[in-house]
Every structure is written in structure tokens, then in C-alpha cells.
Structure 1
Amino acid sequence: MTGKTDRRPLASRDTGWARWLTRKLAATSVTPNQISMASMAAAALAGAAFWGVAHSEGAARVALLLLAALGCQLRLLCNLMDGLVAIEAGRQTADGAFWNEFPDRVADLLILVGLGLAAGLPALGWAAGALAVLTAYVRELGRACGLPADYSGPMAKPQRMAAVTLAAVLAVLEPLWRGQGDVLALALWLIVGGTALTALLRAQRMLAQLRAR
């Protein structure tokens, strides 16, 4: 895992419930890397639920949308807990950096491609996944050049997952206005545009910092 000074700024990290859960997990044999692996399972749950949304209707569709939203939030919870258990509980490992990054890229693809299938726009789902990977690549490229990690948005991982979760919940209400997947499609377009802008802005900041040396 990364050091304390090079972590994504998260207000939830300092909450009472997060510290309580960290203590509970630290008292078990669960490792940070296992929590990171669990984030991929949560993302797979969300992605599979979104895939099911494309083939369901009525109560089944509602249940799958809520399951997808839950999977996204469980993914974020795992992302929070793996770092807290590793650093706050002193369980850092030599391969922690791999498990800190690799599962996130897999999770982004599983969720965003699944969202694309649910919205009837599979190509756009793949584009969103690719752009999410690109934002992480730009951040890590900056770090490789000796710069601080850039976690800024406007559509970084927390914002993407918030948008996906909100879209899944709002899509449950679509029958009220006879919607046909419009909420999911709109969210996907916003994520694609926002993520592309995020990658561009990170690249611009990185170049500016390198030129200022």
C-alpha cells in the first residue's frame, strides 16, 4: 500500500464508523490484500447485476438495480478498508502496491461495462472503462516522474461510483415517468465526458509541474 502522505484524500477515513470497522478487521486474520480482492468481487456483483438489468423488467429489474448500487458501495468500502487496515493497523506488505491498484482497474471495467450493457450502450461502457483506466495511468505516470499523486476530478473514482450508484437508484423510479433506461444512459454519458476531462486536466497539471522544474 502507499504511504500516508500519498493517499487519496477521503473524509470518510476519519469517521468514527471507519475507525471502528478498522479495529474490528485488524482484530481478525483478514489481510489488506484480501480486502482488495474482495473489491473485485463487489464490482463483479455490480457488473453482473447491471447485465441482468438489460434482460429484466418489473420487480426483478428494481432488485438488480439496487443490487448494482450496493455492489458499487461495497467496492468503495473495500477500497477504504484495505488502506486503513494496511496503514493504521500496520499490515503493509511488499506486494501491497500491486493490490492497491490492480483490483481498482478491474473493478472500474466490471462496473462501467456492466452499466453500458444496462443502458443499451455497450461501446460507451467500454469507453468509460478505458477512460477510467487512463485517469489512473496519468496519475501513476506523474508519480513515476517524481510528482505527487493527483487524485483530482471532476470525475475521479469516488465521483464515478457516486454517479453510478445514484443512477442505479434513480433508474428504479423510471416507471413513474415511463422512462426506458434514460437515467442510466445519461449517467454513462456524463461519466465518459467527466472522466475524459479528468484525464486531460491531470495530464495538463503533470506537464506544467514537469516544465516548472
Structure 2
Amino acid sequence: MSIQMIHKAFYSVKLSPVPKGVKIFSKTFKLDDIPAASVYKTITNIDLYHKYIPYCTNSKITAVSPTTKMPTEGCLNVEFQKYSIFFTCDVQCKENKLLKECIATVKEEDSSSKPLFDYLSTKWTVKDLNGNLIETDNDKLVAKAFKGIDVSLIKEAKVMQEKNPGSEINLELAFKFNSYLFQTISVVFGDAVLELIIKAFKNKMIDMHKHPGH
């Protein structure tokens, strides 16, 4: 069944702004030999989610920024046991030299039963493991030059650029079920889903770094 057919078959419920009682789960992990840019590329490539995230049967970037070309909206179809749910998400991508973020917040849920969530959001934060060290190295080069120490700035700068410090990645999952029963047992749900997502993404991040054309 296509995304278009699912969207027509299910009814739509607009999700509210951040409500009280939202549960937040967070976990940080490291990939020692994969740069932040490669990790971030995996996270923002929503079109591929359905190929490796468990229970995700379809995924698509539906809008991009005209200036950055990064996704601003995406959709996912998730099927689990008796549930089949189509999510439309607002996506925010922010990055600078030391930090990259990707936040996806569900703005619409189409489902075959009563909507599961009152609120659902994920936030990825990625940074180079020794980003601060790189800044310090730059300062050292400048200090050497001002002191008249003979340094090959081009050679040392190239060495710095070729450093592969690895990445520190944090995933934050925030949600609130519509069901009071589900919300009361959400600690089990949150930890399990967080581990499931991280495991899938770690494997894909490693694979995309080794095979960037795939």
C-alpha cells in the first residue's frame, strides 16, 4: 500500500504543542573513527529510513530548504502489531563548525485507530570528539608564527584537516501517549525504542561511511 493510499484511508489528527507530562529519554554514544559530517548525512537522509529502521515501512523527504537544501519536512509510515501509523514531521537542521542538530517533531498523525501520541519528537546532536582540540591546535599554530618559530603552516594545517577524531552523538526522544495506561508504562517503551533506533542508526552510519555512494 502506498503512502498516498494510507493517507486517504486513515483520519488525520493535528498534534498539540509540547504538553505537560512529556517523557524524555536521552542517550549519548560515540563512533571513534567516523566524522560528524558523515554521521549527520545519515541522520538527515530521511529517504533511506525505511531500509534499516525496524517497523518503518516507508519514508520520504517532502520539503527542503531552498538555501541549505536540508530537509524541512518528512513523513514516515510505521507498522507494529495491530498499528499502522503515518507520521508527518517538521524537521529542523542546524549546524556550525563544532555542532550539528536535527530535530523532527510530529505535526500530524494518521492512524487506523485512535491516535497513539499527543506529542512525539526526536532530537539528534552530533559533534566531533576533539573539536575543541582542533581549535586549540589552530591557536598553537598562530602562537608559533607570532613568536617567529619556523613552522610549515600549510603542512601542519593539512595534518589537522586530515585528523579523523570521530563523533559524539546524542539522541533525545520525547513523547506523550494519549492513553494513560501507555503513558504509565512508557519507561519501558522509551528505553526499548531508544536502543532500537540507536542500534539501527549506528550500523547505518558505519555502513554509509565505508560506502558513501550507497
TM-score, L = length of structure 1: 0.26
Q: Which entry has the higher C-alpha Rg, 1 or 2?
A: 2
More helix by share: 1
TM-score, L = length of structure 2: 0.26
